[in-house]
Amino acid sequence: MRTAPWGVEERLAELVPVLLDRLDEMTDRMVEILVETEPAYREAMSGGDPQMRATLRRNLEVGVRGLLPDVPAAYHQSHAEGARAVGRLRAAQGIPLEAVLRAYRLGGQITWEALVALSRQGDRHDDGLLLEVAGSLWRTNDRGCSAAAEGYRAEERRRSGLDAVERQRLLDGLLDGRGGDPAFARTAADLLSVPLAGRLAVAVAPVRDEGDEPLDPAAALLKRGIRSAWGTRSQAAVGVVGLGSRRLPELLSWLGAVASGPVGVSSVVEGAAAVAGAYRLAETAARTLPDGVARVVTIDDRLPEALLSNSPEILSRLVSQTLGRLLELPGDEREVLLETLSAFLDADASPTRAADLLYCHRNTVMHRLRRIESVTGRKLTDPRARLLWQLALLGTGHHDAGHRRPVRDSA
């Protein structure tokens, strides 16, 4: 801002802190107008993107602080960088450029209206002040619009220039362990538009049938402010997800809403160098789920199953030696006994609680348990036998089937 006449600097020094205290109120007003008038912003905010409101508030704050005289050039440069980053993000989210620019101008309008209202409180009429700062306010706003448009168009060029083959090549490099190469990691982060230097998770969704479409929730996640890159590998959809400050259960919930089959997710890792290991964990987690089950699990949810799935020969031996002749029984009897055994183990070896889980009489459970002892040659009272049974049930998927208590008519 140019040098202000006498008295204007002092008055602005009084007004700017008051406006900063009202930023939340101003942001609420801006959100209200955008939701009402801009369908793209309405959809993004209804999708639960917490960064959207934070970005709007930050842009308002920049405009307010820019009212102060003698704002250093570095401040305007930082503002421009931030606006370019917002432009890139909005392009990736699919929000039209016209809507992005209208949002920036709306921020200037709300700041101006708040300044006018504040300057005219009481008996004061600071028309000279308003004339002095008007030009600076709108110049700051125009700089933000220009920088946002520049970032938006740069993101459009980047996305149009990155074809599916190049995207898959970069993703494969991360999954193969090239994330440890700083140059490759920087290139992948820039071209895939995923923050690979922060908190990451990898998701794997097997494609069981040839005609099935691979899972690709990138657009749905982006509406929530989460950047991710998806491709295919070994008949599975694979995604590298930049979590930022979001918690892993949030990602699991969002994936669960769009998944039509099993999905395995790694634990949270830090940085591109850890992506390859995270991929192996997510792939193992997905492999522990039965086909056709629409379920999202983390590797930490499935550690025992993961151990068994990685040793198929040992698993086969464990099942045959532990369950033995039980698996050779006729279908109906076999399923009843397996369900009873699963309930008994879940009930901490209590026949009474197992009966409650199965909604049958305790004597019925005891009869079945004696039959299990007979056909397996193992004792219910033996802790090692119970451990082996638990592992065998996990390995065959019977424990996942669970046991549901029938719902009685409440009438």
Q: Please indicate, yes or no, whether the overall pTM of this predicted structure exceeds 0.85.
A: no
CATH of 8-159, one of 1.10.10.10, 1.10.490.10, 2.60.120.560, 3.30.750.210: 1.10.490.10
DSSP structure class, residue 203: E
C-alpha neighbours within 13 Å on the C-beta side of residue 113? 13
Query: What's the CA angle centered on 149, arms 147 and 150, to 5 degrees?
Result: 60
232: buried, middle or exposed (CB in 10 Å: 19+, 13-18, 0-12)?
middle
As separate numbers, helices (DSSP H) first and strands (DSSP E) second, the chain gives 19, 6
Residue 33 pLDDT > 60, yes or no? Answer: yes
Q: Give the span between the Cα atoms of 149 and 342, in whole angstroms.
A: 60
The stretch 338-348 carries a mean pLDDT of: 92
Distance (Å) of CA 244 to CA 191, 197, 211, 266 = 18, 10, 34, 15
Residue 253 pLDDT > 90, yes or no? Answer: yes
What percentage of the chain reaches a pLDDT higher than 70?
88
DSSP-derived 3-state class of residue 206: strand
Q: Give the span between the Cα atoms of 190 and 188, in whole angstroms.
A: 5
Higher pLDDT, 69 or 170: 170
408: buried, middle or exposed (CB in 10 Å: 19+, 13-18, 0-12)?
exposed
CATH of domain 182-309: 3.30.70
Side chain identity at residue 206, one-letter code: P
DSSP-derived 3-state class of residue 383: helix
Please give the pLDDT value at position 76: 65
pLDDT digits (tens, 9 = 90+) for 35-47: 899 888 888 787 6
Q: Do 272 and 188 meet the contact criterion of CB atoms below 8 Å apart?
A: yes
The stretch 170-185 carries a mean pLDDT of: 94
Residue 104 pLDDT > 70, yes or no? Answer: yes
Q: Is 254 left (phi over 0), alpha (psi -120 to 50) or beta?
A: alpha
Say which residue the tokens 């040839």 belong to: 210
Q: Which residues have CB under 8 Å from 282's CB, separation 6+?
A: 201, 202, 203, 204, 238, 264, 265, 266, 299
| Domains 8-159 and 311-396 agree in fold | no
The stretch 217-232 carries a mean pLDDT of: 87
Q: Is 302 left (phi over 0), alpha (psi -120 to 50) or beta?
A: alpha
The stretch 163-177 carries a mean pLDDT of: 89
Q: Do 360 and 270 meet the contact criterion of CB atoms below 8 Å apart?
A: no
The stretch 366-373 carries a mean pLDDT of: 94
For 19-33, 156-170, 263-277, which range has the lowest pLDDT when averaged over its residues? 156-170
Please give the pLDDT value at position 14: 80
Q: Which residues have CB under 8 Å from 224's CB, separation 6+?
A: 47, 48, 49, 246, 254
Higher pLDDT, 299 or 76: 299
Q: Give the span between the Cα atoms of 249 and 246, in whole angstroms.
A: 9
For 247-256, 311-320, 330-339, which range has the lowest pLDDT when averaged over its residues? 311-320
In this structure, what are the phi and psi dihedrals at residue 103, rounded to the nearest 5 degrees? -65, -40
> What pLDDT band is residue 228 in, cutting at 50, 70 and 90?
very high
Average pLDDT in the chain: 84
Q: Give the span between the Cα atoms of 21 and 25, in whole angstroms.
A: 9
List the one residue out of 155, 173, 147 whose CA is nearest residue 84. Answer: 147
* Start-to-end Cα distance in the chain: 76
Fold of 311-396: Arc Repressor Mutant, subunit A (1.10.10)
What are the domain boundaries of the chain? 8-159, 182-309, 311-396
Query: What's the CA angle centered on 364, arms 361 and 367, to 5 degrees?
Result: 155
Q: 242 - beta bridge partners?
A: 200, 227
- 182-190: list long-range contacts, CB under 8 Å, 24+ apart: 184/272, 185/271, 185/272, 185/273, 188/272, 189/272
